[in-house]
Amino acid sequence: MTATENITQKIQALGDWRGETLAWVRQLIHEADPEIEEEWKWAKPTSPGTPVFSHDGIVCTGETYKQVVKLTFAKGAALPDPHRLFNASLEGNVRRAIDIREGEKPDEAALKALIRAGVAANTAARAAKRKPAKK
């Protein structure tokens, strides 16, 4: 199956608020950046895998647990978060996460801005790697 098919199947298999929330977040991610690519990573015998949204690198993952849908931003610690959406994984130096509980809906505009900031950070990092070293 393709990554998109895997993500769609996961949403349908959840069949509850977590599936609805993951579908809503997925839609917002694509609205924020139509060029985002869906990937399915880290599948192994003990885990079916994780939805990943990438543009010039991983922007965020969309994990589901019993109590939360977790959006983990790969470079979250470096992203501006004026609306304080990040509420999990705050102790690390790189990643940050947003835990969405049943009945919660983070501000759409703020979430889209965070997605765009993640894409911009990845694009800038990739561009910096491509620049030839100055002599």
Q: What is the pLDDT of residues 1-46, one digit of tens each?
A: 899 999 999 999 999 999 999 999 999 999 999 999 999 999 888 8
Question: What pLDDT is stored for residue 116 in this prediction?
Answer: 97
Judge whether 115 lies within some domain.
yes
Read off the pLDDT of each residue in 73-90 and give the average, rounded to a whole number. 93
Domain that holds residue 60: 3-130
The predicted-structure confidence for 105-124, as pLDDT tens digits, reads as follows 999 999 999 999 999 999 98
Comparing CA positions, the residue from 76, 101, 97 lying closest to residue 87 is 97
Number of domains, the chain? 1
Structure token pair of residue 115: 């997605």
How confident is the model at residue 134, as a pLDDT? 62
Percent of the chain at pLDDT exceeding 90: 81
Extract the runs of DSSP E, i.e. beta strands, from 3-130: 37-41, 50-54, 58-64, 68-73, 96-101
Has residue 135 been placed in a domain? no
pLDDT tens per residue, range 42-76: 988 888 889 999 999 999 999 999 999 999 999 99
pTM for this model (two decimals): 0.91
Would the pLDDT of 132 be above 70? no
Instruction: Answer yes or no: is 7 within a domain.
Output: yes
Residue 118 region, left (φ>0) first, then alpha (ψ -120 to 50), else beta?
A: alpha
CATH code, 120: 3.90.1150.200
Q: According to the model, what pLDDT value does residue 109 have?
A: 96
What pLDDT does residue 133 have? 59
The answer as to whether 66 is a domain residue is: yes
